[in-house]
Structure 1
């Protein structure tokens, strides 16, 4: 069936009301406008699972070389070498190979004892109290402790690192972020760490990045430049903290809204892993991935011209009933999921997916050990204005 891009639907990715609950709009997009065009911000959008998955895997048509956020792609700013999330092959392949040796599932699983310890450090003092904030008490602390440990960033500096990363993702309600904030080459914070580690190697990721050798696309074997290391660390420190923070916040919100599902997980801990996958599917921190369209492409009876910006709506695709029957909007910890698109697909599949899953599983397990029942304090919960959707504060009232 030919579907026109002309539609009465308006999807504004910066609208605060839509951001608070985008799923009714996403449902309409999937059914009425699977190829959508927004004239105000000059982008196309795909919302069905198969379309989004195919787009994520086709880097030759949907390029990341101009960025993966709408405002960055549209600004057409110069992307420095080393921003591997904003690269296409062959340079992306070369840079990613450096990190893929570090972020293996086996190495990430070895971190479980430390992650449990970090959770205990923040949760134990709260036992016996009546309140627990999933974000301020845990989400804003534990993920940064983990990525700080991996990078070798002292605990006393980790709060400043988190605040710096957060600033890159913030925007005023109803407004795009400033694309100039996404300057991963900014050396004002991490340059001193890199210089110190160069002459004082340690057992951390920063030292591994300094010492790693890889093959450039031209066949030259070399080490990362200081600027490339700086970019890598900026990306890892930001992504490794903020997205997991969001997942923990959504865990608290969703399981409070589904107490029967929460009790199933509490009583049968083998359901923790599928529960985390279902939380990731239903509430992905990143709702969309932007791409630059390199050539004319036919979609749903229409031509998307080369030079366009395409939004691949991950959050809409994750609730498509075609991929998650019978109803993708239903949260079910017993749902059998082959795969979702929260971590992307193809060459840009999230390097930190194994770590994020581990942190979420451990955190949920430790929370249920101490706080088996909770309700969200809705009047005091605050959503954040950010590129990654989630909670600034999610206070809960706990009971045993």
Structure 2
């Protein structure tokens, strides 16, 4: 039962307006449809149905007398449909969310109900009085100072100064505004004659700050579109909500709509530069010892590769050191991996911890010690011990 009641309230509003404005009527003939009647009379099918209380636009009868709403009435009312948002309604009627909210006493722009009949304020005024006198304008319901200024091609601040308006968000319905000419500077009021003993004027009370409006982001919204629908700039809207990237808004996010059209955007502070990392200290390499006087490595030692070096030549400079020991400690596969200028770690060998190489040291590592006799060769020694010459 709730839907018919809402439709009835719509028709009552439409009929009351039609009666007050003396709207035309039409008698339905054979073959007529509501859409054709609406098109022939320059109104929408919905406006014609609402004006006559028709819940079903397809149900009209021959001989029925229909009231034809004027274009002003058709554009002045809107019944909220499923899925409607105040932003969509404002955009379709070439007005702003603030203007519709003010005309209908809406405090929360996110709360409208299906079947609710909204008054749509005109963007250019509706009074013939306003059209007849371009030097003055009578404020009507839904007007905003910025919209009136835009109609006459004036800055809002100039219109406010010409009418001694201190709060651009507060104008009274029915008040008459002076429309200054473009480039006209408001003339200062004449100075009052000095009194003998002027009494001090009481300090004026500060104008109350307008209540901040909010908007909940819906699917398909963009910050620029929300700003346009609310009569503010994208930069002002972003600054009011601490948004550094206008592309990063999300569905369900609640945005604060700034009331001033001249909100200044504070520049974002530049991020402090991160301190440069200090390079890690590299141990100083030691020069290559003389192979004829090899040194015993008792603590980790570093060596910088020189041109012409091989692993075997470097190993020969350290007591008991083998090329594979250096290769293993540095993750090298062989001489081909050596790079001039690279720093190599010379490892401490367990067998060298006493600082000398002795037969006992080799035995401790499962190795055999042999003293070379006169006439022996590497091949003969290798054959005697059953090992390969390369291993020896």
| TM-score in terms of structure 1 length | 0.19
Q: Whose relative contact order is higher, 1 or 2, with alpha carbons under 8 Å and at least 6 apart? A: 1
- Larger helix proportion of the pair: 1
| TM-score, with structure 2 as normaliser | 0.19
CA radius of gyration, larger in: 2
